[in-house]
């Protein structure tokens, strides 16, 4: 008698620098490829790993969510540690648990949060080159925040979508968008530990743009980031963002920010009301 199939949910963190994205493709190594192989090596089963979001080449994740089906008798909470010994150091299985059969990492998601990091310095640090967008021009944060308010809410976001149309609809609801300055962690900056003071005025050295929504279009976060940066440098005025949304023309908005500053932070689910597959 065959063993019953279980649905296992994984929470993954990874450094996307060495991968051509999440999804398996013929032109390079992907995160999905390595995690699926680790599952196969562990269970002896061929399985398909479903992810909440297909991050692009160079994009990182703090809380990617994925699920797979298995007949293995390994306790659900043990999968994370068992897989870790079969994964490279830049991919971490943070957590594993059994979830209902209806759970689908993509279609059951109700909210995703992304973070974009900008190293706001004319001269950057080599340690951060794969993890932030170094941008040395002066930025008007007040205008960027003013522009960001036009993005919050329910809109047709096709002006921030690469290769429109990619989805049945470009309407999404952005629940929050914040732009905050963060100081550089002291061990990465010039710091006088004896006198306990920084040798660099670093209070605004890292610009953190964080956005959560019920869903995102292809390159939407990076296009929004590029547009907000162009507002900050004076190429656009805050009210221009409203015009971009109304006209729905990608060519009117700013550039797509580099991939390596982007992080998938978290994915939320309503486990009491799982969405069925569309």
Q: 10 vs 5, 35, 53, 262, 267, CA distance in Å?
A: 16, 10, 13, 21, 12
Question: Of 15, 41, 56, 270, which one is the catalytic site residue?
Answer: 56
Residue 22 tokens read as 């999440």
Which token pair is 271?
Answer: 């486990």
Tokens of 218: 């292809």
Cross-strand bridge partners of residue 264: 61, 114
Please give the Cα distance from 114 to 210 (Å, whole number): 6
Longest dimension (CA), the chain: 70
> Contact, 103 vs 86, CB < 8 A?
no
Checking phi first, is residue 123 left (phi over 0); if not, alpha (psi -120 to 50) or beta?
A: beta
Phi first, then psi: give them for residue 22, nearest 5 degrees: -80, -50
Measured between alpha carbons, how far is 137 from 123 in angstroms, rounded to an integer?
11
Is-contact 180 208, C-beta < 8 A?
yes
**56 is an active site residue:** yes
Residue 173 CB neighbour total at 10 angstroms = 14
Q: Are 256 and 223 in contact (CB under 8 A)?
A: yes
Catalogue the active-site residues.
56
């Amino acid at each position: 008698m065959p063993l019953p199939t279980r649905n296992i949910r994984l929470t993954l963190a990874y450094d996307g620098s060495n991968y051509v994205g999440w999804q398996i493709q013929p032109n390079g190594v992907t995160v999905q490829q390595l995690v699926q192989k680790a599952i196969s090596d562990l269970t002896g089963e061929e399985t398909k790993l479903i992810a909440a979001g297909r991050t692009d080449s160079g994009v990182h994740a703090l809380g990617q969510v994925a699920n797979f089906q298995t007949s293995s008798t390994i306790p659900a909470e043990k999968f994370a540690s068992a897989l870790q010994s079969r994964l490279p150091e830049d991919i971490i299985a943070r957590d594993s648990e059994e979830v209902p059969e209806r759970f689908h990492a993509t279609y059951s998601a109700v909210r995703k949060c992304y973070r974009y990091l900008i190293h706001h310095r004319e001269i950057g640090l080599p340690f951060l080159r794969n993890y932030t967008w170094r941008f040395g021009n002066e930025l008007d944060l007040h205008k960027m925040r003013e522009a960001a308010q036009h993005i919050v809410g329910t809109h047709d976001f096709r002006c921030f979508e690469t290769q429109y149309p990619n989805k049945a609809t470009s309407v999404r609801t952005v629940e929050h968008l914040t732009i905050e300055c963060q100081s550089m962690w002291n061990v990465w900056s010039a710091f006088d530990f004896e006198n306990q003071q920084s040798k660099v005025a670093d209070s605004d050295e890292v610009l953190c743009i964080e956005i959560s929504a019920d869903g995102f279009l292809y390159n939407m976060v990076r296009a929004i980031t590029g547009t907000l940066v162009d507002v900050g440098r004076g190429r656009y005025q805050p009210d221009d963002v409203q015009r971009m949304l109304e006209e729905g023309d990608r060519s009117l908005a700013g550039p797509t920010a580099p991939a390596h500053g982007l992080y998938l932070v978290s994915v939320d689910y309503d486990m009491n009301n799982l969405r069925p597959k569309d």
